[in-house]
Chain A
């Protein structure tokens, strides 16, 4: 996760409290999505950004895991094409690993 986004997540958590924050990822690839999930749970694994050593333990989901709660027309419009293209199962598995490790 890039520095800018790490900063934005940290600022938001400080402002509204981590119980009011859910992170939704849109990564196109399993490994990168997993890294982002790790960053907002156990901290930046690359030791480069402001979340280095910061365990926010935020609930984190990939957009593909939330299909059931998204209105069908919006899903159709915004996500359905990429659902066809990307390795959905692999991405969900990777993100879920970090969420579960987090006890979430």
Chain B
């Protein structure tokens, strides 16, 4: 199952000054009771112009131009200390009232909004360059009504006015003559919620460069209800909003729980994404005109401007785990249960400490809490206090009661884990969600590790229950991101490649090296070869021998972590584990082995090859590789000795042949089908298999598929040198570089020794029967010694005081000696009958 992540957020505000007077409930009630009241006139006088709304610091926080932390530092009252008025923010935008009115017209599917001609014309001009408005939108605005027609509708009381700067610029008509749920005021309220919801969704998609068709589902969480007299809350705002935004692949539904609606919506979205039902779910909410000027009576009384003059809207995209964006933890959802009770401590326990306890966290493990983020400048004069502050104190007080904090730490807890409120009092808008955008950024940057989002709702207002409601969730940094963050400071893996020796020329090798560099940012490729034109780092060395010497030196000094080369002789005991792609299935198979010799004895070598193959598989991240033995001479003996290892406690996962007998012995068919992860064979057969499978589609001349002949592995062998052949083409060379880098990252030599130790195959008797002469560099090959006698041949030379190493060249076993010893060694081997 995937994890749900918060992939994008958007926050918009809509200046709605005239709507405070026409559709804020406080003012509507006043007008109904006292049409000529001083209060109405006072509110009209105290409304702010658009410029002041934009320059108001809490509004700048809402759209992301200021952080909550910066807001806390600004002098109060904020309405007397404006900041730079920027209508565009990192997280959102502030729209003017005329733009909102235009959007109500654009959002209207039933010809209910009439706009006066000259106003509409001005809006077409104004919006033609705005990125969130389309040609089709402007065409809708082109359908206008005369002021006279609008006036007549208003006089008949079948419409309510749309006013801008005190002038009637249009109206919203009733949708039914008698249906109370379709009357003009209700249509006005619902169209404002739809229009603001649609603009915030358009902003979310545009600001994050998302295609509207990627949205699978929309959950609308405002506090309005759309329906008719037979189904007052029938719905569905979500789908209606998606339609205006071109979300052709989405459906949706409305979720309600008063102010807690948005957090319920996000929890639902997280569940839908986690279950795999949908990949991309948008949770959004448009604004509530009813709440405009809700506390204006108190504001006027205390000489505060009418600060409740904006509609708020938000949209959040919850998507399947991308390894980057913060994760919503679905194992610790807090909920106020029906049986919880309504005392403040019961509520905070159920929403904060219960879900934290469920995953073993304490209240101090959450870096920031987002509660009801109401702007205190609005609520304090209205007698509701500083709402976020009260919430933080409650969380801290509960922490004190539960022993997680000292009483004296209460203030510092609030300071450290709390935020200053900035959201307009639009009910659902301040409820937990305003911080999601900042939380996402802070979790991405690593400045915080966890945030908790809490939404609460006053259900009793609907007179259906006296219960209260609330839900919460934890937002956590994505461990994918954390891992990436930890990997980044690590040293980039440096892989060398020797350029000379290819049958396809140096250019082909260089092309492979450059391909690897281009594909993998985590690898630095160093070219070792004659001077040539390349963007890669270069170490100059002309001949193959010089290149091998340079490679060995660079590996020794640690300047490279691994190297890819060809025609390189490993000491006896070291063999290479190749990696091919099975042509019938595309499955990757390790061939153990492909060059070199892990032991002089054929079946002993095959037994060791199995263990070395398992070690390389583990280095590639295959924890339990399936092992098969190729049906070659010695296969059954090898199987028997491996089964003996099993009896002694070494675990082998046996592969099963695709053939009818289904044994661990692999046939040619199994090679094509890729029936195992590790295919055990002798190195000469393995070498043939890699050549054939890598050049399968090219007629044999050039190897184009797979990862080459693999790293040399053997007991105590500390270098990572991956082998390619003279026929390897650029794709195989790039694959070999990647393979070598993976082996370096996994610390292959260590894994090899661990695996050999587990299988009890480490050579215990290091003491040698024959005293070895002092070691010296050996680069001269003597070929022709039978593979079964190669070790004896080397020992025979030691007895003659000639230093020699047994090795495996590409064409077969070789004895390696120093140049000065070449002639005498050859002569001795002839004398002793090892070669003719």
**Which residues from 359 to 412 on chain B have a C-beta closer than 8 Å to any C-beta of chain A?**
383-385, 390, 393-394, 397-398, 400-401, 407, 410
- B759 vs chain A, min Cβ distance (A): 62
> How far is B407's CA from A31's CA once the two chains are assembled, in angstroms?
26
Contact partner of A28 among B346, B348, B390, CB < 8 A?
A: B390
Q: Tell me if A85 and B343 are in contact (CB < 8 A).
A: no
Q: Does B718 contact A (CB under 8 A)?
A: no
The contact string, 1 if C-beta is below 8 Å from chain B, for chain A 69-95, is: 000000001111110110000000000
Q: Tell me if B383 and A81 are in contact (CB < 8 A).
A: no
Q: Does A29 contact B (CB under 8 A)?
A: yes
Q: Does A40 contact B (CB under 8 A)?
A: no
Q: Does A60 contact B (CB under 8 A)?
A: no
A82 contacts across to B, CB distance below 8 A: 344-345, 394, 397
Q: Tell me if A84 and B384 are in contact (CB < 8 A).
A: no
Q: Tell me if B393 and A85 are in contact (CB < 8 A).
A: yes
B345 contacts across to A, CB distance below 8 A: 77-78, 80-82
Q: Does A35 contact B (CB under 8 A)?
A: yes
A77 contacts across to B, CB distance below 8 A: 343, 345-346
- A94 vs chain B, min Cβ distance (A): 12
Q: Does A24 contact B (CB under 8 A)?
A: no
- B301 vs chain A, min Cβ distance (A): 10
- A87 vs chain B, min Cβ distance (A): 10
**Which residues from 26 to 70 on chain A have a C-beta closer than 8 Å to any C-beta of chain B?**
28-29, 31-32, 35
Q: Tell me if B383 and A78 are in contact (CB < 8 A).
A: no
B344 contacts across to A, CB distance below 8 A: 81-82, 85
> How far is B383's CA from A79's CA once the two chains are assembled, in angstroms?
21
B348 contacts across to A, CB distance below 8 A: 81
Contact partner of B400 among A28, A79, A84, CB < 8 A?
A: A84
B400 contacts across to A, CB distance below 8 A: 84
* Size category, B interface: 10 to 19
B397 contacts across to A, CB distance below 8 A: 81-82, 84-85
Q: Name A77's closest neighbour in chain B (CB-CB).
A: B343
Contact partner of B394 among A29, A31, A32, A85, CB < 8 A?
A: A85
> How far is B398's CA from A82's CA once the two chains are assembled, in angstroms?
9
Q: Name B345's closest neighbour in chain A (CB-CB).
A: A81
B390 contacts across to A, CB distance below 8 A: 28, 85
Q: Tell me if B393 and A84 are in contact (CB < 8 A).
A: yes
Q: Name B342's closest neighbour in chain A (CB-CB).
A: A78
> How far is B384's CA from A26's CA once the two chains are assembled, in angstroms?
13
Q: Tell me if B385 and A28 are in contact (CB < 8 A).
A: yes
A29 contacts across to B, CB distance below 8 A: 383-385
Contact partner of B383 among A35, A80, A84, A85, CB < 8 A?
A: A35
B401 contacts across to A, CB distance below 8 A: 80-81, 84
> How far is B393's CA from A82's CA once the two chains are assembled, in angstroms?
9
> How far is B346's CA from A78's CA once the two chains are assembled, in angstroms?
8
Best-surrounded residue of B344, B393, B407 (most CB of chain A within 10 A): B344
> How far is B148's CA from A64's CA once the two chains are assembled, in angstroms?
62
Taking A77-B345, A78-B345, A79-B343 as contacts, is the C-beta distance between A84 and B410 under 8 angstroms?
yes
The contact string, 1 if C-beta is below 8 Å from chain A, for chain B 337-359, is: 00000011110100000000000
B384 contacts across to A, CB distance below 8 A: 29, 32
A28 contacts across to B, CB distance below 8 A: 385, 390
> How far is B400's CA from A101's CA once the two chains are assembled, in angstroms?
37
- A32 vs chain B, min Cβ distance (A): 4
B394 contacts across to A, CB distance below 8 A: 81-82, 85
Best-surrounded residue of A32, A78, A84, A85 (most CB of chain B within 10 A): A85
> How far is B347's CA from A85's CA once the two chains are assembled, in angstroms?
15
- B460 vs chain A, min Cβ distance (A): 10
- A75 vs chain B, min Cβ distance (A): 11
- B257 vs chain A, min Cβ distance (A): 21
B407 contacts across to A, CB distance below 8 A: 84
> How far is B116's CA from A81's CA once the two chains are assembled, in angstroms?
57
Q: Name B386's closest neighbour in chain A (CB-CB).
A: A29
A84 contacts across to B, CB distance below 8 A: 393, 397, 400-401, 407, 410
> How far is B398's CA from A84's CA once the two chains are assembled, in angstroms?
9
> How far is B400's CA from A100's CA once the two chains are assembled, in angstroms?
35
> How far is B383's CA from A81's CA once the two chains are assembled, in angstroms?
21
- B339 vs chain A, min Cβ distance (A): 14
- B414 vs chain A, min Cβ distance (A): 10
> How far is B393's CA from A2's CA once the two chains are assembled, in angstroms?
26
> How far is B384's CA from A43's CA once the two chains are assembled, in angstroms?
21
- A88 vs chain B, min Cβ distance (A): 12
Q: Name A74's closest neighbour in chain B (CB-CB).
A: B343
> How far is B394's CA from A28's CA once the two chains are assembled, in angstroms?
12
Q: Tell me if B398 and A81 are in contact (CB < 8 A).
A: yes
> How far is B394's CA from A82's CA once the two chains are assembled, in angstroms?
7
Q: Name B347's closest neighbour in chain A (CB-CB).
A: A81
- A27 vs chain B, min Cβ distance (A): 9
> How far is B808's CA from A14's CA once the two chains are assembled, in angstroms?
109
- B154 vs chain A, min Cβ distance (A): 29
> How far is B400's CA from A82's CA once the two chains are assembled, in angstroms?
12
> How far is B400's CA from A29's CA once the two chains are assembled, in angstroms?
22
A31 contacts across to B, CB distance below 8 A: 383
- A8 vs chain B, min Cβ distance (A): 13
A80 contacts across to B, CB distance below 8 A: 345, 401
> How far is B383's CA from A28's CA once the two chains are assembled, in angstroms?
9
- B306 vs chain A, min Cβ distance (A): 18
> How far is B345's CA from A85's CA once the two chains are assembled, in angstroms?
11
Q: Name A76's closest neighbour in chain B (CB-CB).
A: B401
- B56 vs chain A, min Cβ distance (A): 25
B410 contacts across to A, CB distance below 8 A: 84
> How far is B394's CA from A25's CA once the two chains are assembled, in angstroms?
19
- A6 vs chain B, min Cβ distance (A): 16
Best-surrounded residue of A28, A35, A77, A82 (most CB of chain B within 10 A): A82
B393 contacts across to A, CB distance below 8 A: 84-85
- B413 vs chain A, min Cβ distance (A): 12
A78 contacts across to B, CB distance below 8 A: 343, 345
Taking A81-B401, A85-B390 as contacts, is the C-beta distance between A32 and B383 under 8 angstroms?
yes
- A85 vs chain B, min Cβ distance (A): 4
A32 contacts across to B, CB distance below 8 A: 383-384
Q: Name B33's closest neighbour in chain A (CB-CB).
A: A48
> How far is B401's CA from A79's CA once the two chains are assembled, in angstroms?
12
A79 contacts across to B, CB distance below 8 A: 343
> How far is B397's CA from A84's CA once the two chains are assembled, in angstroms?
6
- B386 vs chain A, min Cβ distance (A): 10
A85 contacts across to B, CB distance below 8 A: 344, 390, 393-394, 397
- A14 vs chain B, min Cβ distance (A): 22
Q: Name B393's closest neighbour in chain A (CB-CB).
A: A85
> How far is B397's CA from A16's CA once the two chains are assembled, in angstroms?
39
B346 contacts across to A, CB distance below 8 A: 77
4 A-B pairs closest in CB distance? A81-B345, A84-B397, A85-B393, A78-B343
A-B contact pairs, 5 of them (CB 8 A): A35-B383, A81-B348, A82-B345, A84-B401, A85-B397
Given contacts A29-B385, A85-B344, 18 further A-B contacts (CB under 8 A): A31-B383, A32-B383, A77-B343, A78-B345, A79-B343, A80-B401, A81-B343, A81-B344, A81-B345, A81-B394, A81-B397, A82-B345, A84-B393, A84-B397, A84-B401, A84-B407, A85-B393, A85-B397
